[in-house]
Amino acid sequence: MANELVLRAAGQRLPAKSSRALAWVEGDTLVRLAQVRGESLVQGEKLREIDYLAREAMSGHAFLKGWANHLAGENPLLIDELKFFKDTARLAKADILADTVVAFRRT
C-alpha cells in the first residue's frame, strides 16, 4: 500500500485499524475504476452496433429502391405498388433500430 510505504520511509508505522481502512479504500477505488472503465467499453460497443445497424438499414433501403425501380420500369401503377413494400421495409428497419436503442438504454 502506497501510504504505508511513505510512513515506513519516514520511520513511522500506521495503526492496524487505519492500515485496514486504507487498504479497503484502495481496493474499493480500484473496483470503482474498473467498473467505470468497463461501462465505457460497453457504451462504445453499443454505439458501434447502432452505427452498423443504421448502415445496414440504409444500404438495404437503397438496394430495395433500386430494385423496385428496375422491376417497375415506366409503369406508374407498379411503381406505386412497390412503394408500399419499400416503405414497409423501411419502417420495419426503423423499428428494429429503435428497439435496439431502447434495449441498449436498459442495460
Does residue 99 carry a pLDDT above 80?
Answer: yes
CB 37 within 8 A of CB 59: no
Q: How far apart are CA 35 and CA 103, in angstroms?
A: 20
Considering the entire predicted model, what is its pTM?
0.68
The predicted pLDDT at position 18 comes to: 84
Within 13 Å, how many C-alpha atoms sit on residue 88's CB side?
6
Kindly state the percentage of the chain with pLDDT values over 70: 90
pLDDT confidence band for 58 (50 / 70 / 90)? very high
Every domain of the chain and the residues it spans: 42-107
Q: Any alpha helices (H) in the chain, and if so which ranges?
A: 2-9, 16-72, 76-106
What is the chain's mean pLDDT, rounded?
90
Q: Which triple of cell numbers denotes residue 6?
A: 511513505
Name the one residue in this structure whose C-alpha cell is 433500430.
Answer: 97
Going 12 to 15 to 20 to 25, the CA torsion angle's sign is negative
The predicted pLDDT at position 12 comes to: 76
Going 11 to 12 to 13 to 14, the CA torsion angle's sign is negative
CB 86 within 8 A of CB 65: yes
